[in-house]
Structure 1
Amino acid sequence: MARKKYSTKLFYKYYLDWIHLYKENAVRPITLKKYFLVQKQIKELAPDLHMNELSRQNYQRIINKYAQNHEKATVLDFHHHLKACIFDAVDDGAMESDPTRRIIIKGCKPKPKKSKFLSFYDLQRLLHYLDLGNDINWDWFILLIAKTGLRYAEALALTPEDFDFEKQQIIVNKSWDYKSKVGHFQPTKNPSSKRKVTVDWQLMQQFKTMMQDIDDKDLIFVRKGQSVYNSLVNTRLNKYCDKLEIPRISIHGLRHTHASLLLYEGVSIASVAKRLGHSNTTTTQETYIHIIQELENKDSDKIMQHLSKLI
């Protein structure tokens, strides 16, 4: 029986071919950029490593080198991008076995981060501080995300026709590519991100009044030719938080805050996942595991109180 021949191509070149074959025109441009960035990093970390030399030890060395200058969460993301290619390489017969099994994920000491979410009290103080006049501004944008949990790019893409006033819903079916030189509409992050988000009557009426002079298909927050980056709103938020002496929060942190407060109010994980546009509840559970564990502890107390009454 002839011995099976495995690929001897350089790892970084094999990874590049894999991107072209499996990822081009299959993922969003921003996701594709991440794959190309990973490929560039492999070339720097292991320029002479061939596929037939990609053992568990060599793969661990790549991870260890990358971990010297990156935090653990970033290293894990890097590992996941590599692992996808390697899984396919094994399935396609280019490798004998999977070298990523039982790999140890390391990372350098994380930098101090902004708060992931605000308490209900601090959020209330922030929202009361906003300058909510009769015209749409970035403070209205902050309020909208705090009340809906929309992603930054999803909120930027909103037009008047996305507001269903009869059902009190905001229709999310696109996002805005604010990172390109000339912004344009793009698909949502995933198919599950297409959704309808119910909001309170007051917010709907406020936006209905302010959008009277805006054409149905025109953007609400972005003006023609205007460049918008999340740093624009984050700088504003930092200023407000410092003034109020509350933890600094990012615009994405307001999305986390929205979800966290819903969970604390007893809203199911499934409902929160649907509202956020997560592809499955596993993503929601992993993101808010600390809150879920806290709620489970409270539930345990309630269970014990109930059982004690049965005696």
Structure 2
Amino acid sequence: MTEIKSYKLKNGTIRYQFQIYLGTDSLTGNEKRTTKRGFKTAKEAEIELKRLQYQIANGEIDFAPKKIEDKFFEEIYEDWLMQYQNTVQLSTLGKTKSIFKNHILPTFRSLKIRFITVDFCQKFANTLPKKLKKFKDVLNYTSLVLEYAKKRDYIEKNPMEYIDRPKPLKKINENVEEEFLEGNYYSAEELTNFLEALKKEPIMKFTFFNTLAHTGMRKGEAFALKWKDIDFENSCIRINKALSYCPTNGLYIKETKNGKPRAVLIDKDTLSFLEQWKKEQRILLKEQNLKALNDTNQLVFSNTLNAYVYPSKTNQWIKSIQRRHNLRQITTHGLRHTHCTLLLEAGVTPREVMERLGHMDLEITLKIYAHVTAEAKSRAAEKYIQYLQK
């Protein structure tokens, strides 16, 4: 039974106190007690004692001590990464690690997690737009780690939730897979000039870019093609995989962007160019003392060692061709947009375009359709004015 006791202050004043049993610590097995003191009368102490006994009996008070562990941001990041890596593809994991290494850890690594404030996060966010095009990823990943810490009671709130996120600067980002970049495609006339210039290039580059322009496939999909994927009899290319790269694991094969295989019909000229390249490839491999593999294993487009070509290599190829032939610059991915816009201008329905290009959903195709329609109207207005001024 809990006993209420009196004690004297230094000035001789009488006060009352009691010690109450709280229970057993579930982690250590030790008994837990607390002392309440400073009551002016025994009656006040008795009232408080009964109130605490009632709350403890009804589970209204959790007397387990809350121990706040001073973990550093990098420690929390490493814990978070362990569970995150089981939820994403290798390419995404590699990009995520790179973002943390280059843009997040240099600032947050040595900070104790519970001392990271909203003001600190705000200042960090404000520096990003001028340095990065995709700075939103940096903020999102930082927030994920802090949210992880919050859910595990290392911090009470996620400071990233309270910042005012800066707006991105209006710059072209060539790395966004399906974003339609203004002007990043050729007109029918420009495409004809580009393909004509390609005829002066090595046959593999000609065939590669010609295939992209006339199928709309992604460069990673083209570099994953093997000869077994091309049905010469039915004029069709089966696209069911893609070549990708991540810094930690290098080149590897993954599924297509939307996770679905597709078959793309090709024109007679494109089919003929591919047949010519297949014959020429065997000759070139023999000259390099390399053995051509069977159709099941032989890559359609390979490097000088008959291995995978790094997809980023095409950026150098296309820029070099455009400079030497005085052509307007677009990206390799711009050929995909070119195919898309020309299909839409030719009257092919957005749904048919979506299926041919393997877009994730119809919304992506419709966004491009909106751009094409707007630019077509603008060209029509310009032609009308030019006609009146004649």
When normalised by structure 1's length, the TM-score is 0.74
- Name the structure with the higher helix share: 1
CA contact (8 A) 2:341 2:369 kept: no
Report which of the two structures shows the higher radius of gyration computed on alpha carbons: 2
Within the alignment, does 1:256 sit opposite 2:256 as a pair? Answer: no
Query: Could you say which residue in structure 2 is the equivalent of 1:234?
Result: 315
Alignment pair present for 1:126 and 2:194: yes
Per-residue CA deviation, residues 219-278 of structure 1 (Å, 9 max, x unaligned), is 121043557344643333223323443311221222222223333334444443433333
Aligned position for 1:304: none
Which residues of 2 match residues 1-311 of structure 1 at below 5 A? 1-2=61-62, 9-24=71-86, 26-40=87-101, 41-53=103-115, 56-70=118-132, 73-85=133-145, 99-100=160-161, 103-106=164-167, 110=171, 116-131=184-199, 136-177=203-244, 185-192=252-259, 194-211=261-278, 215-216=294-295, 217-223=297-303, 224=305, 226=307, 228-230=309-311, 232-284=313-365, 288=368, 291=371, 294=374
Q: CA deviation at 1:152?
A: 1.6
Change in Cα spacing, 1:292 to 1:253, as seen in structure 2 (3 Å) is: closer
Mapped contact 1:193–1:279 kept (Cα < 8 A): no
Secondary structure in 2 matching 1:171: strand
Shift of 1:31: 1.8
In 2, the alpha carbon distance for the partners of 1:100 and 1:267 equals 45
Look up the equivalent residue of 1:130 and give its one-letter code. Answer: L
Distance across 1 between alignment mates of 2:205 and 2:70: 54
**Structure 1, 200-209 or 138-147: larger mean CA deviation:** 200-209
The amino acid that maps onto 2:198 is L
SS of residue matched to 1:192:
coil
Mean CA deviation greater in 99-108 or 120-129: 99-108
Q: Distance in 1 between matches of 2:70 and 2:362?
A: 40
Please say if residues 94 and 249 of structure 2, whose CA atoms lie closer than 8 Å, have aligned partners that are also in contact. no
Q: Alpha carbons of 1:257 and 1:10: their partners in 2 closer, same or farther (altered >3 Å)?
A: farther
CA distance in 1, matches of 2:173, 2:324: 20
| CA spacing shift, 1:38–1:177, aligned 2, 3 Å | closer
Note the residue ranges of structure 1 that are not aligned, 5 or more in a row: 299-311
Gap change, CA 1:231 and 1:271, over 3 Å in 2: same
Contact 1:156 1:175 in 2 (8 A): yes
Amino acid at match of 1:36: K
Q: 1:285 to 1:84 in 2, by over 3 A?
A: farther
CA RMSD of aligned residues (A): 4.0
Change (3 A) 1:179 1:54: closer
CA–CA distance in structure 2, aligned partners of residues 194 and 165 of structure 1: 18
Q: Is the CA contact 2:90–2:249 (under 8 Å) kept in the aligned structure 1?
A: no
Q: Does the residue aligned with 1:19 lie in a helix, a strand or coil?
A: helix
Call closer, same or farther: CA 1:87–1:172 in 2, change over 3 Å. farther
Residues in 1 aligned to 2:330 and 2:375: alpha-carbon distance in whole angstroms: 23
Relative to structure 1, the CA distance from residue 162 to residue 226 in structure 2 (aligned partners, 3 Å threshold; closer, same or farther) is closer
Using the alignment, how far apart are the partners of 1:270 and 1:80 within structure 2? 33
* Displacement after TM superposition at 1:64 (Å): 1.6
How big is the shift at 1:168? Answer: 2.9
Q: Given the superposition, is the C-alpha separation of residues 128 and 136 from structure 1 closer, same or farther in structure 2, using an over 3 Å criterion?
A: closer
2:43 is matched with which residue? none
Equivalent residue letter for 2:126: N
Q: State the distance in 1 between where 2:66 and 2:264 align.
A: 54
Q: 2:227, 2:300 within 8 Å by CA — same for their partners in 1? A: yes
**TM norm structure 2:** 0.61
Per-residue deviation at 1:184?
5.7
Q: Give the % identical residues.
A: 25
Query: Deviation string for 1:49-101 (max 9, x for gaps)?
Result: 4444555544332222333422xx32123234445555666667766556336
Q: Which moved more, 1:194-203 or 1:120-129?
A: 194-203
Cα separation, 2, equivalents of 1:89 and 1:283: 36
Call closer, same or farther: CA 1:269–1:88 in 2, change over 3 Å.
Answer: farther
Distance 1:296 1:48 in 2: 54
More strand by share: 2
Name the CA distance, whole Å, in 2 between partners of 1:248 and 1:65.
31
CA contact (8 A) 2:258 2:359 kept: no
Report 1 or 2 for greater relative contact order, CA contacts < 8 Å, sequence distance ≥ 6. 1
Distance 1:136 1:79 in 2: 45
What SS does the aligned partner of 1:247 have? coil
